[in-house]
Amino acid sequence: MTKLSVNINKIATLRNSRGHNTPDVIKAALNIERFGAQGITVHPRPDERHIRYNDVITLKPLLTTEFNIEGNPKEKKFVDLVLETKPAQVTLVPDIQGQLTSDHGWDTIKEKKYLKEIIAVFKSAGIRTSIFVDADVNIVSHAADTGTDRIELYTESYAKHFSANKENAIKPFIEAAQKANEVGLGINAGHDLSLENLAYFKQNIPGLLEVSIGHALISDALYFGLENTVQLYLRQLK
């Protein structure tokens, strides 16, 4: 079964909007685990506009499922945080300063030397690595040379075109996944996956190990409740 890792950034965004501790991000993460999710994802950014670095430190000893920390390793503070907390997985994302949300993957050809070096740092600390990539066979092929354990397929284009033509939307992701399997990389996926498009993605991507879902899941929880929403997403992955 593909694991569901819930990104809790949006819960932190709501908390930060009032400057207090409501909603309680830590309590929400523990509840999400209790409701059946197999992982918790956070993406701390330098401005701490949602998840704060201290949230990450507080969460680590409390979580019982896989902890996935996403971020840009070119930020020294991020690297130090990951090495201090030692999550199950670090997902490297090439965000620029002040970026609203992740919107592109790594160029594993131009950035190969850098990725090799930083991935070696995390792997020497016993942390599984994943790198955020577009659904491009050539990019995936070169990702294997970086030493990463997994790739995370950036699924925004799939979600954007799903309603118009789901067969065309999924095609490059199937090809990228096949290449990942061929070169021995584990496959994660995330960005704009939702109740509408998740099951079809899962059914068509060979070897899909994990999806990281935040915005859509937390938004659905406003209507369906958090526990019920986690269960709805888990059902899409069966």
pLDDT of residue 101: 58
Rounded Cα distance between 176 and 187, Å, is 10
CB-CB contact of 187 with 178 (8 Å): no
Residue in 43, 142, 152, 210 annotated catalytic: 43
Residue in 66, 142, 191, 210 annotated catalytic: 191
pLDDT of residue 162: 98
Parse the chain into domains and list their residue ranges.
Answer: 3-236
Rounded Cα distance between 16 and 48, Å, is 9
pLDDT of residue 97: 62
DSSP 217: H
Phi-psi region of 153 (alpha: psi -120 to 50; beta: other; left: phi over 0): beta
> CATH topology for 3-236?
TIM Barrel (3.20.20)
- Count Cβ atoms below 10 Å from residue 116 Cβ, excluding itself: 13
Strand extents, DSSP E, 157-231? 186-190, 208-213
Q: Return the amino acid letter for 93.
A: V
DSSP 21: -
Work out the angle at residue 122's Cα, subtended by the Cα atoms of residues 134 and 217, and round it to the nearest 5 degrees.
50
Rounded Cα distance between 136 and 142, Å, is 10
Work out the angle at residue 110's Cα, subtended by the Cα atoms of residues 107 and 115, and round it to the nearest 5 degrees.
75
51 phi/psi in degrees, rounded to 5: -65, 130
Rounded Cα distance between 143 and 203, Å, is 24
Rounded Cα distance between 201 and 194, Å, is 10
Residue in 33, 66, 70, 210 annotated catalytic: 70
pLDDT tens digits for the chain (238 residues)? 899 999 999 999 999 999 899 999 999 999 999 999 999 999 999 889 899 999 999 999 999 999 999 999 999 999 999 999 999 999 999 976 655 555 678 999 999 999 999 999 999 999 999 999 999 999 999 999 999 999 999 999 999 999 999 999 999 999 999 999 999 999 999 999 999 999 999 999 999 999 999 999 999 999 999 999 999 999 999 9
DSSP string covering 53-118, please?
Answer: HHHHHHHTTT--SEEEEEE-TTSHHHHHHHHHH--SEEEE--PPTT-SS------TTTTHHHHHHH
Rounded Cα distance between 70 and 177, Å, is 21
- Annotated catalytic residue 43: yes
- Annotated catalytic residue 161: no
